[in-house]
């Protein structure tokens, strides 16, 4: 099950890049994988970093013109989109491993 924020980001990417729905979702999944993240637990903050540092390269590979502007537009949309409560914090393994060292 993907996080709601993933669906929102994929939909915005589709809209701004002109990529077909499946390709937009697939590209986002690949970018997340390259960033060591999972679609079912990604947060809005992590997505912003992925769109800033990973996604431009992935969009260029797929022939999307002005990839940086597309990514900025998606990040802008994400900032202005109210994120559903369940999407704000995923199943954060890093948080568990951070916490366990505070025993």
Binding site for other proteins (CB under 8 A): 1, 34-37, 40, 46, 49-50, 53-54, 91, 93-94, 96-103
How far apart are the C-alpha atoms of 80 and 64, rounded to whole Å?
A: 24
Q: Which is nearer to other proteins, 85 or 94 (CB)?
A: 94
Where residue 45 falls (left for φ over 0; alpha for ψ -120 to 50; beta otherwise) is alpha
Q: Minimum distance from CB of 47 to other proteins (Å)?
A: 10
Asked whether the beta carbons of 46 and 35 are under 8 A apart, the reply is yes
Instruction: Decide: helix, strand or coil at residue 36.
Output: coil
How far apart are the C-alpha atoms of 93 and 46, rounded to whole Å?
A: 14
Q: Which is nearer to other proteins, 34 or 73 (CB)?
A: 34
Q: Which is nearer to other proteins, 69 or 95 (CB)?
A: 95
Q: Minimum distance from CB of 3 to other proteins (Å)?
A: 12
Q: Minimum distance from CB of 23 to other proteins (Å)?
A: 22
């Amino acid at each position: 099950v993907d996080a709601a924020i993933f669906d929102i980001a994929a939909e915005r990417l589709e809209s701004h890049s002109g990529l077909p729905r499946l390709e937009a979702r697939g590209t986002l999944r690949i970018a997340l994988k390259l960033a060591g993240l999972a679609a079912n637990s990604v947060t809005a903050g992590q997505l912003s970093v992925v769109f800033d540092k990973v996604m431009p390269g992935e969009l260029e590979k797929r022939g999307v013109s002005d990839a940086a502007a597309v990514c900025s537009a998606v990040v802008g949309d994400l900032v202005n989109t109210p994120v559903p409560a369940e999407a704000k914090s995923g199943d954060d393994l890093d948080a568990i491993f951070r916490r366990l060292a505070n025993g």
